[in-house]
Amino acid sequence: MSKIDEYMNNRRTHDKEFASGLDQVGFNLDAAVAVSNLRESLHMTQREFAKYIGKPQSTISRIEHGNMNVSTQLLNQIAQAAHKKLKIEFV
């Protein structure tokens, strides 16, 4: 384990706000990959995909770059617009 991993694990254990922030970043990155994969499976650019689902292109960009705290409501709207189902799992 690297020193940064040790630091993060230790801080996560002792700082609940830090732990919550890490969890949100992880969720955002998972959403980024999922939305990007969905868009690419439809062979669309961000602009085309945004128009297809009725959201601004900047929203798609922020999601795909992990720069947006994505809600499950927004992900569900994207799924419905793309004729997909949103599946959430506890792992």
- By the 8 A CB rule, do 24 and 30 touch? no
Q: What pLDDT band is residue 1 in, cutting at 50, 70 and 90? A: confident
Which residue, chain included where needed, has tokens 């809600």? 71
Judge whether 73 and 80 are in contact, CB under 8 Å: no
pLDDT the model gives residue 37: 97
Three-state secondary structure call for residue 84: coil
The tokens describing 37, both together, are 């994969």
Q: What confidence tens digit (pLDDT) does each residue in 61-86 have?
A: 999 999 999 999 999 999 999 999 99
Give CA separation, 76 vs 14, 21, 69, 82, in Å: 34, 22, 14, 10
Task: Provide Rg for the chain, Cα atoms.
Answer: 16
Distance CA 90, CA 70 (A): 17
pLDDT in tens, 16-58: 999 999 999 999 999 999 999 999 999 999 999 999 999 999 9
Report the SS3 class of residue 65: coil
